[in-house]
Amino acid sequence: MTTVIVISFWIGLPYWWERSCNFTIGLLVVGHWLMINTLFYYYMGVAISPGYPPQGSLIPEAVTICKKCIAPKPPRTHHCSVCNRCVLKMDHHCPWLNNCVGFNNHRYFFMYIIFITLSTLFIIIFGFNLVYQEVWLGTNKDYETLIGHPIHFNISSGESSVS
């Protein structure tokens, strides 16, 4: 995610600023809103406990015993083999969050997925024009302005590897 943000500021920001300052400010506002929400919901998905059954007390609604924990298990509780604990309303163990998705953090995980999808679409939509104009059509023929520019490095490395 950090790489995408750095590349967006290093390549995308100058490209769009050159075309329209007001449009670029709008892109910055929307992009930062998406980034802040994505990071917030990621943090909440990681930091919030998924919800565990109470330990050491009788659970009146417990109908089964977990065979791994040897403890009473409420309905819709499942044992996570990664965390080695029972999780209330367990959906799955998420490797990106390194946490189970359960009763307490399911909404944060769901919102994280929504915002990461919106952020990806945002980058694809506004990065497509840049790639199309600069790489596909090759509209920038002034190569001295591209010295040190990542697109120039990508184009030159691709040409040298082919020859």
So which residues are the catalytic ones? 94
What are 92's strand-pairing partners? Answer: 101
Q: Are 133 and 80 in contact (CB under 8 A)?
A: no
On the 0-12 / 13-18 / 19+ scale of CB atoms within 10 A, 144 is exposed
Q: Is 130 helix (H, G, I), strand (E, B) or coil?
A: helix
Q: What's the N-to-C CA distance of the chain in angstroms? A: 33
Outline where DSSP puts E strands in the chain: 64-65, 72-73, 77-80, 85-88, 92-94, 99-101
Q: At what angle do helices 106-131 and 21-47 cross, to 10 degrees?
A: 150
In angstroms, the CA 19 to CA 15 distance is 7
